Structure 1
Amino acid sequence: MPYETLKLSTPKPVLSWANHELGSEETKMAKNVASLPFVFKHVALMPDVHLGKGALVGSVIATKEAIIPAAVGVDVGCGMCAVKLPFIGEQVEGKLKKIRQEIEAAIPVGFNDNKEIEKAVTNWQGWREFKDLHSKVQNLESKAMKQMGSLGGGNHFIELCLDAENNVWLMLHSGSRHIGNMLAQNHIDTAKHLAKLAELKLPDPDLAYFVSGTPEFAAYWNDLQWAQHYARLNRDIMMARFKRIVEKAIAGGKPTKPLLEVNCHHNYSEKEVHFGEEVYVTRKGAVRAAEQDYGIIPGSMGAKSFIVKGKGNHDSYCSCSHGAGRLMSRTKAKKQFSLDDLIQQTQGIECRKDEGVIDEIPGAYKPIDEVMKQQSDLVEVVATLKQILCVKG
């Protein structure tokens, strides 16, 4: 489905790949962003768009000479990685419960961290740059080290999947943990403070921004890139452990060569060239989908997920959705669904089936097939995955 230009009276247009009308709060949020003077050309909304903080989740915002920290968000570098292994479904039959138990023992979830720090973590060159990060996080280096290789909570997950040809895939979703959150919060506070001092008339205080060429912009950009690298390595560390667990269960621990590896952010900002100009592209709940880029679009727990390849659609700033997108809030999901609903909707999947994960029930998310139809001009599907094991954060 091609995009539609929303009927909004804003200085810059808003192009939407969602086939539903935005609610009043969502419309207001889209208008607020499209009204900012430094927004480049237009704002692009992905099919999974929904309410966020300051800017909509599922929005792609290209800017000139400025960046909005709250639009990037607090889970800096949050994203996904997936690995296709040379195994087939029959090889994991009868082993899923044990694999899940070993994942839960090897990879901390929620607020937990690692008790021991492995070499791949201590050897990361990023620690040498830690002293250059925001002064208010200087006491967090030890915590950041211990959390490297941990999942976090909320909608973060680890899944073992099968594709349509019965091949085994490993997939996980995580970000930059506490250190990324603290870096983001401190810079958001600074941006709001500067906006107040300058008496800027912003449509929303969460749209406070930094102007390029200022020390505050340079400090934020430095910390942002660091946190994005941390998030990517965090996923790599967990995936390496996950891969060893599956290899042990299937091949007696013999290392295997992945057939395909994908690792992509969906909460981040980068410098890119679009329409012949260098701009800052912030993807808040969106994946880069330049031509030949591999990406991951997960459904909910119990639904299909997709490995995709970008088509390089410049109207979307070469982007696509980052998932199905929530249909309802966590609070509403807990009120609307019961434990029986969760058990029924996750039938056949080795996962937690308790009241602690009811807010992640498939029924709380948009139908992923519908979301995929709406972005056929943005990506092509490389593999369709169905999870058979899921560990939630």
Structure 2
Amino acid sequence: MKKITGKDLLRIGFEENIILGKTLDFCKNYKGSLNKGEMLNILKNVIEKPIDTFETSAFYSLAQQIIALQKEMDSDTIPLETNPKPYTVFGSNYIEEGARKQMEIAMKLPVSVAGALMPDAHQGYGLPIGGVLATRNAIIPYGVGVDIGCRMALSIYDMEESFFEENQSKFKRELIAQSNFGAGNGFRGQYRFDHRVLENQLFNENPLLKNLKDKAWAQLGSSGGGNHFVEFGIIEFAERDEQLNIEKGKYVALLTHSGSRGFGATIAGHYTQLAKKVCKLPQEAKNLAYFDLNSTEGQEYWLAMNLAGDYASACHEVIHQKMQKALGVEVLAKVENHHNFAWKEQWNGEEVIVHRKGATPASKDVMGIIPGSMTAPGFLVRGKGEPEAIQSASHGAGRQMSRTQAKKEISKTDFKAILKDHNVTLIGAGLDEAPMAYKDIHQVMEAQKNLIDVVATFTPKMVRMADDGSRED
């Protein structure tokens, strides 16, 4: 049998503690006939429910050791509250049970104050994607998410729709030339970009961030993988918007979606593991491990998170400036917003930490962008500041198929047909990002009409994504 490593066990649900060591010892001394895959399948069940291991099983002694060790460690565990605090669900008919269960666990945390599920919500790690959670003086790394500061950015050009239609080859050429996609991809040598965000003193003060600075510099202005995109489209204002000073009509616009790349992902992974060590929660809540914001670790993560957010914004700024220069066009207005972040906000007269993991800030009169899919419209919106939504809205249409399911059920023929029907030019992307993998954006918008006002509608025309639909590293 091939050797089972600590990484193998961590991947199936073990944690870095004494149980992992005992299990590695067990595997080393195992003399049975199971292969590595079979062993890992059984060990996954043993760590999840050791009490269900039969006395006749070769794994029984290991299971009993795990039970004893878990009881010993549970003495340091922070208990969850018996019943979840109430939270509001928007678009209840479109939300899977897994997301609801995750939200209920989050609402049992002793630090939770208020919560809401947006209509695009679906199951994630820790807090569901589309989950909003307000806590009292506590910050949850997985409540923010792996792609810290993932955001939308929109540049509205002083350019009519007809110019785009007549010059599509130019737009396609610049879309390819001015964007860079794929997990781990970036720029080298003289092709790197400088930005004031790289001058932040945290790169000198925090050893983790210091080691990540070169990676951050290399990936500055790139877009990663997964559902990140750079796209041209037509944005239509049904009436003049005073806040943006834009007249009624149709305009060409650039819309981008990406986050803090490998820089943010490494920060998220490091501080999530640290949180699990200092904040021991029951098994079902372990991915919601949190820091007291007054602690050294809490302050470290808070500062690193904010830097990752600034870095994500800088990546968009580089892309939009490059595209503006390449096209030689005037920008009439720009709007952007985070949707994987945590903010200090007022709630019922007290300061709380509001985690929006895949949710758009929607305080009164705050503008944001809610995309649909590569063939469905997106929306420029203005928040209404709805208290029950903790001043939030959805961050998109939300997935109705997992990536694995989409790859199995959606054919390339159907994918190409829907792109043709909507007259959309696509560069890159895998089947896991096909429009059919997403919920109906119109249903999502209807479910949150009390949370936001629609200012303008964006129709995608030319979309670029990672060539293989790859995830961020």
In structure 1, the partner of 2:463 is 390
- 1:154-193 matches, within 5 Å, as 154-164=226-236, 165-193=249-277
Instruction: Tell me how far 1:65 sits from its aligned partner.
Output: 1.6
Report the counterpart of residue 112 of structure 1 in structure 2: 185
Contact preservation (8 Å) 2:346, 2:352: yes
Query: Secondary structure in 2 aligned to 1:346?
Result: helix
How far off is 1:167 after superposition?
Answer: 1.2
Residues 84, 105 of structure 2: 8 Å contact kept: no
Which amino acid in the other structure matches residue 321 of structure 1? S
Partner SS for 1:236:
helix
Q: Partner of 1:345 in structure 2?
A: 418
1:164-243 equivalences in 2 (<5 Å): 164=236, 165-196=249-280, 200-201=281-282, 203-243=284-324
Moved more, 91-100 or 68-77: 91-100
Offset from partner CA, 1:246-283 (integer Å, 9 cap, x none): x2xxxxx3x41x22210100000011112211110100
Aligned to 1:141: 213
1:368–1:63 distance in 2 versus 1, CA, 3 Å: same
Q: CA 1:127/1:116 → structure 2, altered by over 3 Å: closer, same or farther?
A: farther
After TM superposition, the score normalised by the length of structure 2 is: 0.75
Percent identity between the two aligned chains: 36
The structure-2 alpha-carbon separation of the partners of 1:167 and 1:184, relative to structure 1 and needing over 3 Å to count, comes to same
Moved more, 217-226 or 99-108: 99-108
What is the alpha-carbon root mean square deviation over aligned residues?
A: 1.8
Check whether the contact 1:269–1:283 (CA below 8 A) recurs between aligned residues: yes
Question: Gaps (5+ residues) in structure 2?
Answer: 1-81, 237-248, 467-473
Residue identity opposite 1:387 in structure 2: P
Determine the structure 1 residue equivalent to 2:112: 39
| Residues 69-119 of structure 1, C-alpha deviations (whole Å, 9 max, x = no match) | 111111000010001111111111242233223222222111321234679
* Equivalence map 1:1-393=2 (5 Å): 10-20=83-93, 22-40=95-113, 42-110=114-182, 111-116=184-189, 121-124=194-197, 126-133=199-206, 135-164=207-236, 165-196=249-280, 200-201=281-282, 203-245=284-326, 247=327, 253=328, 255-256=329-330, 258-347=331-420, 348-352=423-427, 357-393=430-466
Contact map agreement 1:192 1:206 (CA 8 A) in 2: yes
Q: Distance in 2 between matches of 1:129 and 1:137?
A: 7
Q: Note the alpha carbon deviations across 1:334-354, whole angstroms, 9 max, x for none.
A: 11111111111112112137x
If asked which structure has higher relative contact order (CA below 8 Å, sep 6+), I would say: 1
Q: How far has the Cα of 1:139 moved from its partner? A: 2.3
What amino acid does structure 2 have at the position aligned with 1:187? Y
* CA–CA distance in structure 1, aligned partners of residues 382 and 85 of structure 2: 29
Contact 1:100 1:391 in 2 (8 A): no
> 2: distance between equivalents of 1:119 and 1:275?
46
Distance 1:46 1:333 in 2: 22
SS of match in other structure, 1:185:
helix
- Unaligned runs of 5+ residues in structure 1 are 1-8, 248-252
Number of aligned residues: 370
Tell me the CA shift for residue 148 of structure 1: 0.7
Cα shift readout 1:29-84 (whole Å, capped 9, x = no counterpart):
111101011111x2111010101101110011000021111111110000100011
* Pairwise CA distance, 1:160: 0.6
2: distance between equivalents of 1:90 and 1:75? 36
Structure 1 Cα separation of the partners of residues 373 and 347 of structure 2? 32
Task: Give the Å deviation of 1:303.
Answer: 0.8
CA 1:191–1:124 in structure 2 vs 1: closer, same or farther (change >3 Å)? closer
Structure 1 Cα separation of the partners of residues 412 and 436 of structure 2: 12
CA distance in 2, matches of 1:89, 1:220: 44
Letter of the 2:302 counterpart: W
Larger relative strand fraction: 1
